[in-house]
Amino acid sequence: MSRAIKSSLLYHAFVSFASDILISAGSTPVLYTPLLGGYPRGFWRVFNVPTGVQLGVVFISQLYTALSIMMLFYIRYDAVLPDNHHLKPRRTLMVFFFSFNHLLLLILVPLGVYWLIPDQETAKRAILEEHPNAPPSLFNDDTLILNQPSELVPLLIVVILILFVVYVAALSAFFAWYSYYTLVQRRNFLSPKTLALQRAFLLGTIRQVCANFLFLCVPGLIFFYSLIISFSNQDIMDATLLFITAHGSAGTAVMLLTSENYRKVLATTIKRICFKKQWTCSIISWIIHQFISH
């Protein structure tokens, strides 16, 4: 496994895990679905981090996770295509491309949060006039409201996110499709071992994306359906957020567990870490052997 592939996998695992932690433990939001607002209750409250800043960090971490997935597909694309292929860009150009995307998000997301979030005093005053029996927690300083007095803000946020997802998905799909197409075209020029290895890595990345998509779409549809019918249930919201925030780690776990090569590397790493006591060696070895063989 090349250094570029290892670095990309490590970066994706770090970003997805950090994103999950920042949302599930850092923010841990309580949502008011009919009003499109909420407040955090995670460990960031200890450090008095403003809710708007938390929202920006969450958006950046999630979008970075999407970019890291696209990078994984590009690394496979770069490894499969021959050096003289006309669709293979220079490595310095792609480094600049991904760096530019990361920097652009780092600039645009804070600006978007600053300019798009409405004035909270005006928003809460509008809610009080429309809903006199609103819960008191809605008027706390750390509560953030997005759709008052106008519905334009959440609509713009959704449109921007959809455009970014389409952009990442289109490039990832192209990298995946052309990688597979190139493998099929060059199957007579590659050794069976190399062909099987490249195909296994590509399929592992595709499985990972499918897991990410599943963990995002199913709870996301439940969440948006709750908004449409103006249904609010905190248990359901907590469950949907738990699945959404775990999508990065879930995808990484699926990729590791469904690939024989990754399972072997993972098993070897666990052996090196855990085999310090002789009496546990035989038990763990048997478990890992059963795990790899299946």
**Burial group, residue 121, by CB count within 10 angstroms (0-12, 13-18, 19+):** exposed
Mean pLDDT of 233-239: 73
Mind listing the pLDDT tens digit for each residue in 16-72? Answer: 888 888 887 888 787 776 667 788 888 888 888 888 888 888 888 888 888 988 888
Q: Provide the pLDDT for residue 287.
A: 61
CB-CB contact of 148 with 127 (8 Å) = yes
The pLDDT of residue 194 is above 80: no
Mind listing the pLDDT tens digit for each residue in 157-168? Answer: 878 888 888 898
Residue 92 — very low, low, confident or very high, per pLDDT cuts 50/70/90?
Answer: confident
| Edge-to-edge strand list for the sheet holding 37-40 | 29-32, 37-40, 144-145
- Rounded Cα–Cα distance for residues 203 and 130 (Å): 52
User: What pTM, to 2 d.p., does this model score?
Assistant: 0.78
Q: Provide the pLDDT for residue 285.
A: 61
Q: Provide the pLDDT for residue 160.
A: 84
Q: Name every residue whose Cβ is closer than 8 Å to that of residue 88 and which is 6 or more positions away in sequence.
A: 78, 81, 82
Q: What is the CA radius of gyration of the chain?
A: 23
- Rounded Cα–Cα distance for residues 2 and 76 (Å): 11
Q: Which residue has the higher pLDDT, 194 or 166?
A: 166
Mean pLDDT of 148-155: 73
Q: Provide the pLDDT for residue 292.
A: 54
Residue 174 — very low, low, confident or very high, per pLDDT cuts 50/70/90?
Answer: very high
Mean pLDDT (the chain) is 79
Mean pLDDT of 222-245: 73
CB-CB contact of 120 with 52 (8 Å) = no
The pLDDT of residue 9 is above 60: yes
Mind listing the pLDDT tens digit for each residue in 105-151? Answer: 888 888 887 888 888 888 888 888 877 777 788 888 888 888 776 77
Q: Provide the pLDDT for residue 273.
A: 63
Q: Is 3-258 a CATH 1.20.1070 domain?
A: yes
- Rounded Cα–Cα distance for residues 206 and 210 (Å): 6
